[in-house]
Amino acid sequence: MRRSILFSLYIFVIGFCTCLVMIALARSLGNNDKKEAKLSKNTTFYKLGQCPDCKVISTRHWKVGKLRDNNDLHLVSGRLMGIEPFASNAEMEEKLPGLLRRRKLKALKEEADTYRLKNLTHSEPYLVPKAVDLLEEIGERFHDKLKELNLPSYYLMVSSVLRTNESQQGLGKRNVNATKNESSHIYGTSFDISYKEFLPKHEKPAPEGFCRHDMMRHPLAEVLTEMSNEGRCLVVKEVKQACFHITVLE
């Protein structure tokens, strides 16, 4: 009899304690849910490219310079290192083979390891050899940055390359960043890289996601800052066309 009473009492105590534990656990989970709900309510997530910190080059999280080298400096380097500008598109077609043969110009690869060419409506995919080398090194260093961040590989998107005076004048009518008088693009020493578009290596568009800071743009800006500090290039961040305008230095 006593054993039966003790056993029943033992079962009651275990059951009571289990209930207390379950109640405490339920309350704890409820509080966590409230905290998470509060966090979600006070935290704003932006669609890819819409985050305010993505609209400018952030110096709070990345080692990025101003990247505002004056256009006059780009022109000086272009005149020193570049070709004689083509007056027209027809003149370029006539003289281009000879310049390529004498290695004054070099064609960009259609399927390079680190970059892809956008639809070039006002320029042609040619640069002086040192500018091609610069572009390829920028791509390699950009990919190294992504590896350090454990990010997948993305191609850089080259949006403008060699222009003629004719194409430059035509571009000036629609692009406020394109000076109507002279641009270093006409010397084959400059190229533009988009900081808004990056192509995944599997060649499919990146799915729209959410971000606090653009994980593509800032590593690229870091690379350009480093190479600018090394005296390898001049860089200006263009706003309207969302690209970095880059000119090779000797």
Q: Report residue 143 as tokens.
A: 């990919």
pLDDT at 172: 55
In angstroms, the first-to-last Cα distance of the chain is: 101
pLDDT bucket at 34, cuts 50 / 70 / 90? very low
pLDDT bucket at 23, cuts 50 / 70 / 90? low
- Taking 50 as the threshold, does the pLDDT of residue 39 lie above it? no
Are β-strands 126-127 and 243-248 bridged in parallel, bridged antiparallel, or unpaired? unpaired
pTM: 0.75
pLDDT at 204: 64
Are β-strands 106-107 and 233-238 bridged in parallel, bridged antiparallel, or unpaired? unpaired
The candidate with the shortest Cα–Cα distance to 189, out of 245, 112, 120, 114, is 245
The candidate with the shortest Cα–Cα distance to 84, out of 180, 171, 170, 165, is 165
Cβ neighbour number for residue 176 with a 10 Å cutoff: 10
The whole-chain average pLDDT of the chain stands at 81
Higher-confidence position of 211 and 166 = 166
CA distance 53 to 244: 17
Q: Tell me what percent of the residues of the chain surpass a pLDDT of 70.
A: 66
Q: What is the mean pLDDT of residues 29-47?
A: 47
Total residue length of the chain: 250
Specify which residues 107 forms β-bridges with: 126
pLDDT bucket at 35, cuts 50 / 70 / 90? very low
Q: Which amino acid is at 81?
A: M
Q: Report residue 92 as tokens.
A: 């370029």
pLDDT-wise least confident of 23-27, 55-59, 153-157, 190-194: 23-27
CA distance 96 to 55: 38
The candidate with the shortest Cα–Cα distance to 195, out of 225, 171, 173, 168, is 225
Specify which residues 243 forms β-bridges with: 194, 238
Q: Where are the beta strands (DSSP E) in the chain?
A: 46-47, 106-107, 115-117, 126-127, 154-160, 190-200, 210-211, 233-238, 243-248
